[in-house]
Structure 1
Amino acid sequence: MHIAFFGSSLVSAYWNGAATYYRGLLRALAGRGHAVTFYEPDAFDRQAHRDIPDPPWARVVVWQPGQPEALDRCLSEARRADLVVKASGVGVLDAELERRALELRRPGNAVIFWDVDAPATLERVASDPADPFRALVPRYDAVFTYGGGAPVVRAYRSLGARACIPIYNALDPETHHPAPADPRLAADLAFLGNRLPDREARVRAFFLRAAQRLPGRRFVLGGAGWGDLALPANVRWLGHVPTGDHNALNCSCTAVLNVNRDSMARFGFSPPTRVFEAAGAGACVVTDAWEGLELFLEPGREVLVARDGEEVAEHLAALQPARARRLGAAALRRVLAEHTYAQRARQVEVALDEGGAAREIA
């Protein structure tokens, strides 16, 4: 199968939280014999902040948003694909791509909308009855999402989606794995995530509040956009952390914090890539509470769960290195057994029937 995939970026994780998901899933699909072409815009300075070269398992086509003929060429070429994917959050010309991708349907192929931020998309559409995407949903052969579970499936079906299939985030053990600790990154708790409007309040509540409660402990904050935020004295901001340094960061701290964005926490069933990255490195993960967590990691045995910053601080104050190692090892075993991108790629194949349409799977 030839897959034409229109997304934000495959080669740059700069202001691009979907990069790990795209890389893991598309590498796994390529490993199963599928040919992948990834079309990404030259936007948001991502090409200047590439963190991987063009991979051998996918052909990358970079198009210029200011040159209409460049996108025309990409769409014309993609028409020959067996599966055309328009991902959410390309960042430029999204509305045009959502409409024009559907024009690429021909006998024998399928056109899929792949939502990498379904809670945000659904809340946007719900708040605006005139949103043009609303009328397009029933025309796609299926909607795939990387999170959301039953609440997202119900919401998309109510918009007329033919099928909605969650293909969750996962682990690529070739890229995220245990690594030697780096003393320069050592801390008691690390949080990695870009500063976004629907994330900041929860980062303050879960991460910065915990740092204030434990002034004698060391905290590191990674991600873009936090530079002008007043931080407690025991919090060190690292700036943008390239993906190549994620393993070292995850393995250099006693624990790694996951904080879901507001919309993902409300919908639940949305494990972000950070959870699997940290678990894949054998790190002890502390996460905010959200519905569906137990489908991925077992609270108390494979992950620690906190309802607020006070509980994060309590976990950290009581956490001995030996227990942190046991939790991390248990999480690593679980994700390797049940949550790899190789397994997700097989789910994609199951969801696509011989006629090119899609059906929902449990």
Structure 2
Amino acid sequence: MKIAFYGSSLLSAYWNGAATYYRGMLRALAARGYDITFYEPDVYDRQKNRDIDPPDWCRVVVYDGTVDGLRSVAAAASLADIVVKASGVGFEDDLLLEELLKAANPRALKVFWDVDAPATLAELKADADHPLRHALAAIDLVLTYGGGSPVVDAYRAICAAECVPIYNALDPETHHPAQADPRFAADLGFLGNRLPDREARVEEFFLKPASDLRHQRFLLGGSGWQDKPMSPNVEYIGHVPTVAHNAFNATPKAVLNISRASMAANGFSPATRVFEAAGAGACLITDAWEGIELFLSPDDEVLVARDGGDVADILAGLTPERAQSIGRAALDRVLREHTYAHRAEEADRVFRKAAESRAMEAAE
């Protein structure tokens, strides 16, 4: 089946946290025989900051960040068996959804793939006339990369035909154990862009423990933190390209996952970083959120912190031997249960079930 997928960017992870998810999911779907074209707008300097070349498992079409460019690529949806509009494309999202629903073949499966469901649902709650609310009647399937039953129930409450979480996962060919790199030597590393929905939690879970543990070294990667006050034992290294993520995760004694506030409040929303770190065999410390045990076992495969004080206590008592043991256990778990091959199998089953349902409705 042909998939026309409209998202933020496959080629660049620059200010684009969904890149790893897109790459892992679409590569695994291609391995199952799907013929995929990914359409991404040339916005936010992402094309100037590409970190992969166009892959051989997916065609990539980069279009001008103009209304004419958008309408041109939207017309191509007419050739697809499955038309996917992701959330957060970053240029005229509402117009893009409108144009795709008009262009799609009536027999095609129309999918809204939400890569930030808590934020999307907050927008829908605040705006009874939101364009997506009206579009849901024409959409066959909502997929999300997290959220669990709270997100599923919320989408069904606003009349989505179906909503299924397809969680983040690991692509073991991309994220895997690596040699330690002296550039990333630290007791604790954190990698994440500066976002309003995350900043206060970074202060609590990363910068506060760093200030309390002045004898330990902390490493901060990601865009936007250059003017953030931090203690002298924190080294800020800026944007870290995906090609360096394995070494970043494998080198420090432990790495930290900090969920955005909306994701933590909702639960069941493991970030791509969780699986990247586990795939590198890293000892992961994560902020606490409901559902973590569905992905990694607390204390054995991941260490869970309720606040910055917990992070400091964990680091103070964490030996290199225990850190390595936790990292090995996490790697074993994600390879066994949480690869994108597992997720693609689930997505394939969901697509086929939805297509069969549509065909039966058409035949009645």
**TM-score bucket of the superposed structures, by smaller chain:** over 0.9
Equivalent-residue separation in structure 2 for 1:35 and 1:132 (angstroms):
29
Cα offset, 1:357, TM superposition: 6.2
Secondary structure at 1:137 match in 2: helix
Equivalent-residue separation in structure 2 for 1:231 and 1:158 (angstroms):
43
Query: Superposed, which structure 2 residues align to 1:168-187 within 5 Å?
Result: 168-187=167-186
Equivalent-residue separation in structure 2 for 1:108 and 1:276 (angstroms):
36
Equivalent-residue separation in structure 1 for 2:286 and 2:136 (angstroms):
33
Query: Superposed, which structure 2 residues align to 1:173-322 within 5 Å?
Result: 173-322=172-321
**Residues 147, 269 of structure 2: 8 Å contact kept:** yes
CA RMSD of aligned residues (A): 1.2
Aligned to 1:59: 59
TM-score by length of 2: 0.96
Cα offset, 1:134, TM superposition: 1.5
Following TM superposition, the consecutive aligned residue runs of length 4 or more in structure 1 with deviations greater than 4 angstroms are none
The aligned amino acid for 2:232 is A
Cα offset, 1:72, TM superposition: 2.3
Cα offset, 1:97, TM superposition: 1.2
**Residues 250, 282 of structure 2: 8 Å contact kept:** yes
Aligned to 2:24: 24
Aligned residues: 358
Aligned to 2:80: 81
Cα offset, 1:358, TM superposition: 7.1
Equivalent-residue separation in structure 1 for 2:107 and 2:183 (angstroms):
54
The aligned amino acid for 1:139 is A
Distance 1:215 1:77, change over 3 A: same
Aligned to 2:361: none
Between 72-81 and 103-112, the greater mean CA deviation after superposition: 103-112
Question: For each residue in 1:184-216, what CA deviation from the matched residue of structure 2 results, as whole angstroms up to 9, or x when unmatched?
Answer: 210000000000000000000000011011110
Equivalent-residue separation in structure 2 for 1:238 and 1:142 (angstroms):
40
Distance 1:328 1:287, change over 3 A: same
Equivalent-residue separation in structure 2 for 1:255 and 1:176 (angstroms):
16
Cα offset, 1:71, TM superposition: 2.1
**Residues 78, 104 of structure 1: 8 Å contact kept:** yes
Unaligned runs of 5+ in 2: 359-364
Equivalent-residue separation in structure 1 for 2:189 and 2:152 (angstroms):
33
Cα offset, 1:109, TM superposition: 1.3
Aligned to 2:327: 328
1:130 aligns with 2:133: no
Question: For each residue in 1:119-162, what CA deviation from the matched residue of structure 2 results, as whole angstroms up to 9, or x when unmatched?
Answer: 00001111222222222123210100000000000000001000
Cα offset, 1:355, TM superposition: 6.0
**Residues 141, 354 of structure 2: 8 Å contact kept:** no
Identical amino acids, percent of aligned pairs: 60
Unaligned runs of 5+ in 1: none
Query: Superposed, which structure 2 residues align to 1:139-154 within 5 Å?
Result: 139-154=138-153
TM-score by length of 1: 0.97
**Residues 78, 84 of structure 1: 8 Å contact kept:** yes
Question: For each residue in 1:3-23, what CA deviation from the matched residue of structure 2 results, as whole angstroms up to 9, or x when unmatched?
Answer: 100000000000000000000
